[in-house]
Amino acid sequence: MKSSFLHFLQIMKVSIRALTKNKMRTFLTALGIIIGVGAVIAMVSIGEGAKRGIQDRFNSMGTNLLFVYPGNQNVQGVRSQAGSRTSLKEDDAKAILQYCDAVRAISPSVNSRGQVVYANKNWNTQISGTGADYPDIRSWPVEDGTYFDDAQVRAAGKVCVLGSEVAKNLFDQGQDPVGQVIRIRSIPFRVLGVLKSKGESGGFFNRDDMIAVPYTTCMRRFAGIDYVNSIDVSAVSSDMMAEAKREIEVLLRDRHKIMPGSDDDFTVRNMSDVAESAAESTQIMTILLGSIAGISLLVGGIGIMNIMLVSVTERIREIGIRMAVGARERDILLQFLAEAVVLSLLGGTIGIIFGYGVSKVLGKIKVFSQFQTVVSPGSVLLAFLFAASVGIFFGFYPARKASKLDPIEALRYE
pLDDT digits (tens, 9 = 90+) for 244-301: 999 999 999 999 988 888 888 898 988 766 666 666 777 777 777 777 777 777 777 7
Single out the residue of 268, 272, 228 nearest to residue 248, CA to CA: 268
Residue 209 included in any domain: yes
Give yes or no for a contact between 73 and 84, defined as CB atoms under 8 angstroms apart: yes
What sign results for the dihedral spanned by CA atoms 361, 366, 368, 371?
A: positive
Give yes or no for a contact between 38 and 351, defined as CB atoms under 8 angstroms apart: yes
Over residues 152-176, the mean pLDDT reads 94
> CA-to-CA distance for 340 and 348, rounded, in angstroms?
12
Do 126 and 35 fall within a single domain? Answer: no
Do 21 and 141 fall within a single domain? Answer: no
Helix (H, G, I), strand (E, B) or coil at 43: helix
In the chain, the number of structural domains is 2
Phi/psi zone of residue 62: left (φ > 0), alpha (ψ -120 to 50 degrees), beta? left
Single out the residue of 262, 274, 232 nearest to residue 92, CA to CA: 232
pLDDT(397) > 90: no
Do 140 and 235 fall within a single domain? Answer: yes
Residue at a domain's end among 264, 293, 326: 264
Residue at a domain's end among 264, 290, 319: 264
Do 25 and 96 fall within a single domain? Answer: no
Do 196 and 341 fall within a single domain? Answer: no
Residue 1 included in any domain: no
Residue 2 included in any domain: no
Do 177 and 303 fall within a single domain? Answer: no
Q: How confident is the model at residue 54 (pLDDT cuts 50, 70, 90)?
A: low
Q: How confident is the model at residue 63 (pLDDT cuts 50, 70, 90)?
A: low
Residue 366 included in any domain: yes
Residue at a domain's end among 240, 264, 288: 264
Return the pLDDT at 362.
Answer: 72
Of residues 381 and 185, which shows the higher confidence score?
185
The C-alpha R_g of the chain, in whole angstroms, comes to: 33
Do 227 and 112 fall within a single domain? Answer: yes
Do 98 and 247 fall within a single domain? Answer: yes
Residue 397 included in any domain: yes
Do 259 and 287 fall within a single domain? Answer: no
pLDDT tens string 302-359: 877 887 777 777 777 777 777 777 777 777 777 778 878 888 888 888 888 888 888 7
Single out the residue of 61, 108, 52, 71 nearest to residue 272, CA to CA: 61
Do 97 and 120 fall within a single domain? Answer: yes
Return the pLDDT at 195.
Answer: 95
> CA-to-CA distance for 222 and 127, rounded, in angstroms?
9
pLDDT tens string 189-235: 999 999 999 876 544 467 899 999 999 999 999 998 989 999 999 99
Do 230 and 307 fall within a single domain? Answer: no
Return the pLDDT at 98.
Answer: 94
Return the pLDDT at 106.
Answer: 95
Return the pLDDT at 21.
Answer: 76
pLDDT(140) > 60: yes
Name the residue range of residue 147's domain.
72-264
Over residues 48-54, the mean pLDDT reads 71
Return the pLDDT at 6.
Answer: 64
pLDDT(372) > 60: yes
**Lowest mean per-residue pLDDT among 105-109, 200-204, 237-241, 383-387:** 200-204
Q: Which residues contact 63 (CB under 8 A, 6 or more apart)?
A: 139, 234, 238
pLDDT(149) > 70: yes
Residue 212 included in any domain: yes
Do 50 and 76 fall within a single domain? Answer: no
Return the pLDDT at 181.
Answer: 95
Residue 67 included in any domain: no
Residue 13 included in any domain: yes
φ, ψ of residue 326 to 5 degrees: the values are 115, 0
pLDDT tens string 67-122: 999 975 444 444 444 444 457 999 999 999 999 999 999 999 999 999 999 989 99
